[in-house]
Structure 1
């Protein structure tokens, strides 16, 4: 009997990769990962998990490999992960079109990943967004910041996980970050262009969608500025019915404006003095542990339902229960060598804790980047109420401790 396969393009270092593997296996599928460097994904080392090394930025090579796999497998679907390289999900859409499989519209995904093009489409549709300009040189950034008014947020035109994103309160901070972005240190996925954006201040909110339906809305918190390193997520967000409806309506307007509506997406908002404004639309599933929070809070397994969509099966987005789930990311406060990290076994034993995951081991060099790469682990918990979930998270996180020895300083 020909095995029914799910092809996964690339993977995730700390995200949903293993969960997609497990979901595929539960559905009777044989998952096969195609990746430029499969060794970077720890979960692929387990017995029985197939991975093939291939240049995933080469569409023709991927078409050839998928065609080869179709000789020995019934390829039911193809999906993948945006990860660090935003173009991967565009490639997924092109592969699905080539093989006549269910998948996202690659043109819509590509427009969405270009933050400038995305904002143009949202603005044309009347969706509230921060003031913005596009710039390619330090002088253009300086002029844009002056037009918008400080403080401003500078970010690469393409990217994810807050990589290269910084709040600049003063002109010298603008100059400093432009020098970093254009000076050869930042790795660009496209021609270097910088989005200069008004700093929208207010509570941070994330809307999670599947197809044209809002599955739920979460609240998030970042660590200390000027960077945007995610620290905490609570699902569902503590909103009034009126506030919830407003976010739902805006979410659906975003999907329509960007010609999305197939598969998962997540939409980031700030609730400002003038109401909610859209910060970004990501045409993909949120990274871990957000899908786990949704499953704990309302019983919808978005990853399994996404796989069903990818292979053309009927999905089920009905909510099974109503709880409050939360996650805390573990973030170090200094650079150096990690001497030890302990307390995970104590934290996971706290009633209500669903998962404790550490991403690092002792003797790991810690070099903070000011983005998602700063995380060294997370704690996930759930309970019947917001207050109880907050308390469980605090209790568990307080049990986890680590020691970092600063790197030695050498006299110049």
Structure 2
């Protein structure tokens, strides 16, 4: 791995949490260029202007999902300021970034694997061929096909885009009418923003009852090693938005070992050889089953929560991997919890009072990224979350209790007005 100061290029990210990796890279002495389709999504978030000042360079107006155009831009940059590593934390931009890495001979997961992970149906077929436990599934391109597929699977069923992310257009359906409505939304979702196109193809999965956890891994030369599992606090049905979680999840040793074993098999079946991955798993009646694999570090402010528990910075591992190194997870000390701050009703955000929560016992950090005046609604997808709070304690139970108590102190004021965008 390169030890001297390096030039890293970050292709898109998440507002505003995604710029934490830029700050960490610069603190390590590295130079960072940020490449984006548009700065508008980042400027829309509270703190966006400050976050955009952290990279040394900003390259905008770039079609960041088009491998050829992205290579032209980064290739020209590479000739002026040699690039030593690429970073991508945004699901829809991983395949194009991987193609650029291959063209420039930079460390990264292969473009073939990153394209594969963007097609949830293709991954399902690979897992099925490898005998990895997962829900029964079907593919549908029209609402009519989705209704027929649901009848084959049996109710309830999960309906999601085959190439989606951020819990957009994901729901649990209990009858044909609900399936048709969700599938129609998927069919109409032809853009996810920032240049990411949608195929309109729906993936239907048998609903498996049980708690959901994610397994955070790093894979180097095909060997996958876990950081640990994060449990999940879901929003009420029918929109399974993640509203929080604790790390490490409170799991019996045999359950945790089973999760790691199933996830390791899934990553191998998908061909993952060099990446941080975030894999969601349902702890069903018959054991752990794979929900989906994401070829990136877990998103939002969850890495910040994990950092408090590890006593080190997981973003440093992402940077090390991007520069050709072989990072290794370290053990957790204590536990952390994160909770999303959301709107209690649709309308216009008037303000968020989190001062009492900041001073509550166990609170490590409170981050607000929603601006007063923006349309809001109760959470239907990840983009409806207005901020987060993180708590820590010696045990998961203690961190969870602190998170619940601090969350109860947050006051979100919403005025009458238009509901947030659907």
Correspondent of 1:73 among 78, 81, 84 = 81
Is residue 153 from structure 1 mapped to residue 158 from structure 2 by the alignment?
A: yes
Cα distance between partner residues in 1 of 2:402 and 2:352: 20
CA contact (8 A) 2:161 2:201 kept: yes
- Corresponding pairs, count: 402
CA contact (8 A) 2:67 2:97 kept: no
Cα distance between partner residues in 1 of 2:55 and 2:227: 33
1:243 is displaced (CA, Å) by 0.9
Is residue 370 from structure 1 mapped to residue 377 from structure 2 by the alignment?
A: no
Correspondent of 1:195 among 191, 197, 203 = 203
Cα distance between partner residues in 2 of 1:184 and 1:392: 38
1:408 is displaced (CA, Å) by 7.0
Summarize the Cα distance change of 1:252–1:183 in structure 2 as closer, same or farther, 3 Å threshold.
closer
Other-structure match for 2:45: none
1:318 is displaced (CA, Å) by 2.7
More deviation, 131-140/173-182: 173-182
Cα distance between partner residues in 2 of 1:267 and 1:232: 16
Summarize the Cα distance change of 1:200–1:24 in structure 2 as closer, same or farther, 3 Å threshold.
same
2:116 alignment partner, SS class: helix
Cα distance between partner residues in 2 of 1:340 and 1:306: 35
Summarize the Cα distance change of 1:408–1:94 in structure 2 as closer, same or farther, 3 Å threshold.
closer
Question: Is there any run of 5+ residues in structure 1 with no aligned partner, and where?
Answer: none
Other-structure match for 2:251: 239
Cα distance between partner residues in 1 of 2:80 and 2:182: 51
Other-structure match for 1:52: 59
Correspondent of 1:204 among 202, 209, 212 = 212
Cα distance between partner residues in 1 of 2:214 and 2:6: 35
Extract structure 1 runs of 4+ deviating beyond 6 A.
none
> Deviation string for 1:53-77 (max 9, x for gaps)?
1221332232222222223323111
Other-structure match for 2:349: 338
In the TM superposition, 1:164-313 aligns within 5 A as 164-183=169-188, 189-211=197-219, 212-313=224-325
1:162 alignment partner, SS class: coil
Other-structure match for 1:114: 119
1:222 alignment partner, SS class: coil
Cα distance between partner residues in 2 of 1:91 and 1:185: 18
Cα distance between partner residues in 2 of 1:173 and 1:332: 24
CA contact (8 A) 1:269 1:277 kept: yes
More deviation, 157-166/57-66: 57-66
Question: Is there any run of 5+ residues in structure 2 with no aligned partner, and where?
Answer: 43-47
Other-structure match for 1:142: 147
Is residue 21 from structure 1 mapped to residue 40 from structure 2 by the alignment?
A: no
Correspondent of 1:11 among 13, 23, 45 = 13
Summarize the Cα distance change of 1:27–1:138 in structure 2 as closer, same or farther, 3 Å threshold.
same
1:217 alignment partner, SS class: strand
> Deviation string for 1:189-248 (max 9, x for gaps)?
343211111111101111000111111111112011000111120111111111111111
Cα distance between partner residues in 1 of 2:54 and 2:34: 14
Summarize the Cα distance change of 1:216–1:146 in structure 2 as closer, same or farther, 3 Å threshold.
same
